[in-house]
Amino acid sequence: MNEPTVFIVDDDLAVARSVRWLIESIRLQVETFPSAQAFIDGYNAAKPGCLVLDVRMPGMSGLELQERLTAQRVQIPIIFITGHGDVQMAVKAVQAGAFDFIEKPFNDQDLLDRIQKAIAVDAEQRGKDTQRSQLRSLFVSLTPREREVMDLVVEGMSNKAVANTLGLSAKTVEVHRAKVMEKMHARSVADLVKMAMLNQETQ
Asked if residue 1 has pLDDT above 60, the reply is no
Each residue's pLDDT tens digit, 140-196: 899 999 999 999 999 989 999 999 999 999 899 999 999 999 999 888 888 888 888
pLDDT in tens, 75-115: 899 999 988 677 788 888 888 899 999 988 889 999 999 99
**Out of 3.30.70.590, 3.40.50.1370, 3.40.50.2300, 1.10.287.130, which CATH number does the structure's domain 5-127 have?**
3.40.50.2300
Statement: residue 203 has pLDDT above 70:
no
Query: How many Å apart are CA 169 and CA 151, to the nearest integer?
Result: 17
Side chain identity at residue 29, one-letter code: Q
CA dihedral 47, 50, 54, 57 (to 10 degrees): 20
Model confidence band, residue 136 (pLDDT cutoffs 50, 70, 90): confident
Question: pTM (2 decimals)?
Answer: 0.71
Top-level class of domain 141-201: mainly alpha
pLDDT at 117: 96
Max mean pLDDT range (110-119, 128-137, 194-203): 110-119
Question: Could you give the CA distance from residue 36 to residue 117 in angstroms, rounded to a whole number?
Answer: 23
Strand partners, 101: 80
Sheet with 29-33: list strands edge to edge.
29-33, 5-9, 49-54, 78-82, 100-103
128 pLDDT above the threshold of 90: no
Query: Which part of the chain has CATH 3.40.50.2300?
Result: 5-127
Q: CB burial class (10 A; 0-12, 13-18, 19+) of residue 151?
A: middle
Tens of pLDDT, residue by residue over 5-60, are: 999 999 999 999 999 999 999 999 999 999 999 999 999 988 999 999 999 899 99
Write out pLDDT tens, residues 54-76.
998 999 999 999 999 999 989 89
Domain with CATH 1.10.10.10 in the chain: 141-201
